[in-house]
Chain A
Amino acid sequence: MIELDHVSKSYGARDSVSDLSFTVDKGAFCAVVGPSGSGKSTTLRMINRLIEPGAGRIRINGEDIGSLPREALRRRIGYAIQSVGLFPHWSIADNIATVPRLLKWPEERVQQRIDELLSLLQLNPATRDKFPHQLSGGQQQRIGVARALAADPEVLLMDEPFGALDPITREALRRELSRIHQSTGKTILFVTHDIDEALQLADVIAVLRDGKLVQYGTPMQLLLQPANDFVRDFMGGETLGLKLLALRQVAERVKPEPVPGEPIAPETSLAEALSQMVLRRTSRLPVRSAGGGAGGSIGLSDLVA
């Protein structure tokens, strides 16, 4: 649904992005990763035409975005950045209402939408009358996401939105984003340099290096079949195996033999199970049954099966 077709962009002699081609399906969460200077942000900003592509075409739902009026295109795409960029002289409500008002929504619908979004992002309804400088970093970023979602766009572009936050807030917002993605089915393009974040959130990952696409695939594919040494190292190098563990769940490997002790949930990742084994100093952990009946267990050897 978002199609990049041989897209390139250069600044003077330097090629920021060269011959980039990939397609993101409707409703997918695509993480764009790579080292600094690999062209991730440039790629993102070509999709809402903050930067015009030097060569190639970008299509959304089959439409060439170059043929659409720029402002109309941008009002259909949500954009959230690390520094948020809330308008300091407007209340939170007015900030969120920006695009809906540009689209001339009836005011009643706008106000409804503001309330909806505040609750979707788990914010106190009283926040609507506050001003950006009165909120914490985490709250501001939530408002940034709310503002991006306000006009219910099909596509959401996010450029390292959680980069400036502390680890706890980051984790909370990641979970929330995942939840929002599941419930709204929007197509999300998410730039990050944090590979763990990408593995946690994405359905599909695009790895960029020096402006070129190195590999495009699901997290599993990238971990199990890295295209080259660069991808292998970027994915975790020697800790690749541990990352694989993080992607799989206990439910896939549970055996029916019961074992005494505090059971872990079947959705627990294999990585967390390993961690529990180390902490409890045992090589076999009890697993709670999904249905409620007799549980099973998982052993150390099952992790490497």
Chain B
Amino acid sequence: MRRLRDPLLWLLPLLLFLLLGMPVLRPLFAAAFPGTTPPIYGDDSFLALFLSHAGYVALSSLAAAVIGIGLGIVATREWGAEFRPLLEALATIGQTFPPVAVLALAVPAFGYGPAPTMIALTLYGILPILKNALAGIGSVSPAVREAGEAMGLTPFQRLRDIELPLAAPTILAGIRISVIINIGTAAIGSTVGAVTLGNPIIGGLVNGKVAYVLQGALVVGVFAIVTDLFFERLGRRLRRFAARD
């Protein structure tokens, strides 16, 4: 019974419907917004916009994860420990910057198009992941570390079998935050030339076509919620797998 009440179960089909079947809602929008022609945003199909948007988020989050976790590992090694306070300060101060500002500032450096969006998403995406990697790996108890070392596990084995599995839930939480923020920032990337689900929204706002704004907002909103739920499931599965105290 609980399975049927799972929100993911009906949100995922909703997303797919919106992506593929938006034209079906044509009469609805035509009735609600009689002044808008065509009633459905037509410059790109919503599926194409979604794939582009998802592409930006996926690539930037992957790069951010690699860099963020990598830096987190370095700063928790004995030889890299000196850099940890500064990296923690950077991750904290950096998250005070509005993500939109980072996007805007990327333009003078990288021009218009996909580049500033991708770079801004990656840079900003590193911060929550780095912060959580530092916290997660750093929270492995010293007794556990010492035991691992004393038993003859090589440094790589300790990282792979002990530190990372124990830090995984925290790191995943950081990746989740990063991805959700990136979904939002990527939408604003439309203003600097990236093709994303923000296109109908921004285009609609500029041209006064509220119907497009709603359509775009609906799709990107459901996309964000579905992604968040997916991460929540993943997090729960991870916690069950790596039973912790």
Contact = CB atoms under 8 A, between A and B. Distances in A.
Q: Do chains A and B touch in the complex (CB under 8 A)?
A: yes
Interface string A17-56: 0000000000000000000000000000000101000000
A133 B141 CA distance: 14
A152 to B, nearest CB: 14
Given A87-B162, A133-B244, A99 B152 contact: yes
A305 B148 CA distance: 52
B166 interface: yes
Interface residues of A, number: 25
A75 to B, nearest CB: 4
Nearest to A95: B147
Interface residues of B, number: 22
Given A88-B166, A88-B245, A131-B243, A50 B147 contact: no
B59 interface: no
Interface in B122-174: 141-154, 157, 162, 165-166
B158 to A, nearest CB: 10
Residue of B143, B148, B151, B242 with most chain A CB atoms under a 10 A cut-off: B151
Given A88-B166, A132-B245, A133-B245, A71 B144 contact: no
Contacts of B145: 85
B92 to A, nearest CB: 28
Interface in A99-136: 99, 102, 131-133
A239 to B, nearest CB: 34
A79 B166 CA distance: 22
A85 B147 contact: yes
29 contacts: A50-B146, A50-B149, A71-B152, A72-B152, A75-B151, A81-B143, A81-B146, A81-B147, A83-B141, A83-B142, A85-B143, A85-B144, A85-B145, A86-B144, A87-B144, A87-B147, A87-B162, A88-B166, A88-B243, A88-B244, A98-B153, A99-B152, A102-B151, A132-B245, A133-B243, A133-B244, A133-B245, A147-B147, A147-B151
